[in-house]
Amino acid sequence: GQQSREASKVEVPFSMVAPPPEQVWTGDSARELVVPIGRAGARELQSLRLGVGTSQHALVSGKTGSGKSTLLHALVTNLALHYSPDQVEFYLVDFKKGVEFKAYATGRLPHARVIAIESEREFGVSVLERLDLELRRRGELFRAHSVQDLAGFRRAVPDMPMPRTLLIVDEFQELFVADDRLAQDAALLLDRLVRQGRAFGIHVLLGSQTLAGAYSLARSTLGQMAVRIALECSEADAHLILSDENTAARLLNRPGEAIYNDQNGLLAGNHPFQVVWLSDPQRQEYLTTLRGLPLSANPANEPTIVFEGNVPADPRDNPDLVAAISHPERTTHLEPTIWLGSAVRIEPATNVMLRRQGGHNLAIVGQDEMMGAGMLAGAVVALAAQHGEAGAKFTVLDGARPESPALGMWPEVAAAIGDTVEVVPPRGAAHAVSALADEVARRGQSPEERYAAIYLVIYDLAQIRDLRQTEDDYGFSFAASGNGKTPGADKRFREILKEGPVVGVHVLLWCESYNSLTRSVDRMTMRDIEYRVSMQMSAADSTSLIDSPAATLLGEHRAILYRDDLGTQTKFRPYGRPTNEWLTWAAKHFDRSVPTNT
């Protein structure tokens, strides 16, 4: 059992393969990448070699506990020690539940261009698309300088850094769990990378606990990956990782015990070895050392793109939002932007633009209160900043329940922004909505005039009982206006939704379910909410809200932005509740101070 496995554990220290301090970053990858990853026999080292002959791409397989993660960490860390960022760069994508590559994000590994933790399939495909663009860019450069390979390019253009690129995808089979458009795109892009990448210094390493699930990836693509590293695995996977005639991998029985084969799995190419052991504190030490080394003045070095699928998005990672808040003194934005969260692809943050036209309201629907709070609070702060000197007014109907994790958030947001934010409890909702509806009617008399923006923000619509449709409204909603009665707050709310955006009055709301939304917004009025965000919900509710059952498949920290005007859906990772640190930072730019929670 577990004890016998522990007893049979063999640990080869990482220091055996790491370069001495004076040789860090002295490697030259012009001809090939060579990095020791373990011990073969008593004294020999086993190295991974990529870039010469057919050894261009690698396939790694090993079941849980076999030492696959240790191998990947040893590989990345040792490559980063041997070669500078001008010699090798990494694209690290991890699909499994875990934080294998997070250390390289927090440790700011200078070689990393992209780091994805608990990646989405969409993000994985966008990484492949980015590398496909890099493949084309290098192709054009190589043709322009009449060179055939990376070494030739470096000789021809010594002043232009051209590192070897290594894409590492752990649990790559997740890209192919469904036979859909994403899987087809991934298969085509991966095939092109492994067939053409060799000429341009682009290499692919695919890792998996089992190869049995990669049914959408062509066997011809896997056949291009001549380097195979097998760790302890099942008999079925032993055939798949090496070859039908080579089942040596089924005899591996201890963590870190592996077979290196650079002959497409042929029996004659087997080289048994033991993967080196690299502890987390040790790896952290090496990363700290690397961070202290001087980087070349390469203008092409962009910030590392980090996708953390296991946590809410952080508004501080959005440069456009940071710029909007940092410079509120700039001119008024006539069409301000609301940023909702991070994209699940390599592209700018998911956002909507509020124009003065019908339908430009936002409804966020779903049970995750922190996501609802994060998106609405982030929107209010960003809007306040973008309206600058012209100012905008915010009326916040705060329906946070006593047990709500967002209780007390809106007074904090108001303190950060200033007097332009009025927080109204549920009992004052009817009066506030009626006053806003009167303002919309007044503005409607002279719609050509440019009025200051007003935003009605509703947090937890279900708790604002005055906005629920009355029985009259479910029947003939216009009957009440003709019989001398004053229209109810619910009807006036729907007037704001319909007539408000054209005269600069927009509604932003969150409610926990589609049922809660329909209590206050009838089917006709739903057309006046063109921007809709759906968290996970039932197929029926998803279809009613965003015209598709797609929201049923959403996981944690995910939502879909639906635009009713375009009929488009965009999956994204929403912002969480704003932290005190972020509000304090924003308050400085509004010249305010925020009382801290006690």
Q: Which domains does the chain have, with CATH numbers?
A: 58-227+285-291 (3.40.50.300), 315-589 (3.40.50.300)
Q: What one-character DSSP code corresponds to residue 102?
A: H
Q: How far apart are CA 309 and CA 477, in angstroms?
A: 45
The alpha carbons of the chain give a radius of gyration, in whole angstroms, of: 29
Instruction: Let me know the angle formed at the C-alpha of 122 by 119 and 127, rounded to the nearest 5 degrees.
Output: 75
Q: Residues with Cβ < 8 Å from 486, sequence gap 6 or more? A: none
| Amino acid letter for position 88 | V
Q: What is the pLDDT of residue 29?
A: 96
Q: Which helix (H) or strand (E) holds 534?
A: strand 531-534
* The two structure tokens encoding residue 284: 């952290």
Chain Cα centroid distance, residue 372: 18
Parallel/antiparallel/unpaired status of strands 392-398 and 453-459:
parallel
Q: What is the pLDDT of residue 299?
A: 47
Q: What is the pLDDT of residue 590?
A: 80
pTM: 0.85
Distances (CA, A) of 9 to 2, 4, 74: 11, 9, 17
Task: Strands of 297-391 (E only): list them.
Answer: 305-308, 337-343, 350-353, 362-365
Residue carrying the six token digits 């197929």 = 539
Q: How far apart are CA 35 and CA 17, in angstroms?
A: 8
Q: What is the pLDDT of residue 177?
A: 86
CB atoms under 10 Å from CB of 348, counted, come to 12
Q: What is the pLDDT of residue 302?
A: 77
* The two structure tokens encoding residue 495: 């007037």
Per-residue pLDDT of the chain (598 residues; tens, 9 = 90+): 555 555 556 789 999 999 999 999 999 999 999 999 999 988 899 999 999 999 999 999 999 889 999 999 999 999 999 999 999 999 999 988 767 798 998 888 999 999 999 889 999 999 999 999 999 999 999 999 999 999 999 999 999 999 999 999 999 998 988 888 999 999 999 999 999 999 999 999 999 988 876 566 788 898 899 999 999 998 888 888 988 889 898 899 899 999 999 999 999 999 999 999 999 999 999 999 998 888 776 545 678 898 988 889 999 999 999 988 887 665 456 789 999 999 999 999 999 999 999 999 999 999 999 999 999 999 999 999 988 766 799 999 999 999 999 999 999 999 999 889 999 999 999 999 999 999 999 999 998 888 999 999 999 999 999 999 986 555 444 444 455 567 899 999 999 999 999 999 999 999 999 999 999 999 999 999 999 999 999 999 999 999 999 999 999 999 999 999 999 999 999 999 999 999 999 998 886 555 555 3
Alpha helices in 157-248 (DSSP H): 181-196, 219-223, 235-241
* The two structure tokens encoding residue 100: 């294998």
Q: What is the pLDDT of residue 389?
A: 65
Q: How far apart are CA 532 and CA 552, in angstroms?
A: 15
* The two structure tokens encoding residue 105: 């994000």
* Residues 444, 499 contacting (CB under 8 angstroms): yes
Q: How far apart are CA 265 and CA 241, in angstroms?
A: 7
Q: Which helix (H) or strand (E) holds 563?
A: strand 559-563
Q: How far apart are CA 272 and CA 261, in angstroms?
A: 9
Q: Which helix (H) or strand (E) holds 340?
A: strand 337-343
* Residues 415, 384 contacting (CB under 8 angstroms): no
Q: How far apart are CA 66 and CA 69, in angstroms?
A: 8
* Residues 117, 97 contacting (CB under 8 angstroms): no
Secondary structure (H, E, C), 496-523: HHHHCHHHCEEEEEEECCHHHHHHHCCH
Closest Cα to residue 288, out of 108, 36, 51?
A: 108
Q: What is the pLDDT of residue 390?
A: 67
